[in-house]
Amino acid sequence: MTLRPGALLPQRISSQIAALVVASLLAIHVVLTIGFLLRQDDGRERDDGPSLVALVRLAETRDPARRADLIAEAARAFPRMQMRLAPAGAEPAGDADDPRLEGLRRHLPPGTTAALVAPGGPERPERVAVRLSDGAVLSASVMPPPGRPIDPVIVSILVLAILITVLGWWAARALTRPLRAFVSAAEAFRPDGEIMLLPERGPEEIRSAARALNHMRARVKAMLEERSRMFAAVGHDLRTPITRLRLRSEFIEDEGLRAQALADLDQMRAMVESLLMFMRDGRSARAPVMVDLTASLTTVCDQFADLGHDVSYAGPDHVAVRGHPDELHRAVTNLVDNAVRYGGCARVRLAATVAGVVIDIEDDGPGIPERDRTAMLRPFVRGETARSMDGTTGFGLGLSIAQVVVTAHGGTLALLDGVPRGLLVRIVLPSVATPVPVTPKI
């Protein structure tokens, strides 16, 4: 029987957090216990300095006549120190100013002095002579305190800090990895693209949420596909009667009435085509290709200039992006049409920058108030100058279609103030714009 990774971990986030807290407390206790044990004297580490200081203090309180018996008893108790007591008047031979005895001198009682008779080494004791207050000299072999590079408590704290850091890092990644995958999959969700199921792994709460959102995404996609099929069917059904009405209108004898009828039918057909274009979210079922934006923009400008409109182009001779030429052409055409319709002219500029490819379309019209710009990007919303349906205004889909086309190509569309007046529509496309491929809905 093979256990999957993580099968032994608690299945709920609350249980995992509790397990992490318990593991951290256990780690703290283990490390501190090890540090405490390492700090204890195991018998091999000797420091004879305190013993000598205690003996000197005791000798200072004893009667000099009985001091020899005290030293003899101490010598039997600590044979390695080789204690000897010299009578008063004996001069200790050694260096009374040696810095190695500085710690010992600080603890000796007043009136006593210490001198280093013979220096020691790592395994060899130092021979120290201490002159008592009455002149007697006590000499002993003193093992210096063993040196430690780092105190065990410091080592324990460092090990504990490293252990807690590693444990916290691992726990943070283990607990948040499902959430990061969850967020990435949710942000990548596109209703009109291929459904990428959220990963149903991790704690039980994350799995339940992922399962519910996967079901919701499937329902949203089904609803949008049904809506698209409905509009496609309506559009297809409307094309046939519009075509029949157009053929019948050709037989109207009154020339003025015939022209009005044909204009109304053309407007109806344009409305249907615009609606279907918007319902496709500006995307194409065909594979993206390299698009020469310079050629596309100059073509649009020439088409409007041939109709007598004031349209100009400024930009490099060649700038290419990856995308769908027909959709990009339609988006720019809509924006230039709005500019000449409501602004009297259109100045089209193209530039390749570090941020991407920038297309600016500017006019000299009244512009759009900043408070209304977000609403103007919604479908079927028209400005104050385009409220009528007299054939000279649009249907409120031009900006919406342009925005969905630009978004499908990974770009952004912004409505800005022109200088000194008018409206500036700025499109920023990635240097290599790769639109999202979708399955045809019609």
Q: pLDDT tens digits for 373-392?
A: 888 888 767 665 544 444 44
Topology of the domain comprising 285-429: Heat Shock Protein 90 (3.30.565)
Q: Is the pLDDT of residue 298 over 90?
A: yes
pLDDT on residue 297: 94
Between 170 and 302, whose confidence is greater?
Answer: 302
Q: Is the pLDDT of residue 85 over 60?
A: yes
Alpha carbon distance 134, 111 (integer Å): 9
Q: DSSP state, 95? A: B
Alpha carbon distance 192, 217 (integer Å): 11
Quick: pLDDT tens for 121-170.
Answer: 666 777 877 878 777 888 787 776 655 555 666 767 777 778 778 877 87
Global pTM reads: 0.49
End-to-end CA distance of the chain: 51
Alpha carbon distance 294, 302 (integer Å): 12
Task: Evaluate whether 189-279 and 285-429 have a shared fold.
Answer: no
Q: Kindly report each contact of residues 191-200 with a partner whose C-beta sits within 8 Å and lies 24 or more positions away, as own/partner.
A: 191/220, 191/221, 191/224, 192/224, 192/281, 192/283, 192/436, 192/438, 192/441, 193/436, 193/437, 193/438, 195/221
Coil/strand/helix, residue 335: helix
Burial of 436 (0-12, 13-18, 19+ CB in 10 A): middle
Topology of the domain comprising 49-142: Beta-Lactamase (3.30.450)
Boundaries of every domain in the chain: 13-41+150-187, 49-142, 189-279, 285-429
Topology of the domain comprising 189-279: Helix Hairpins (1.10.287)
Mean of per-residue pLDDT scores for the chain:
76
Residue 345 near residue 364, CB atoms below 8 Å: yes
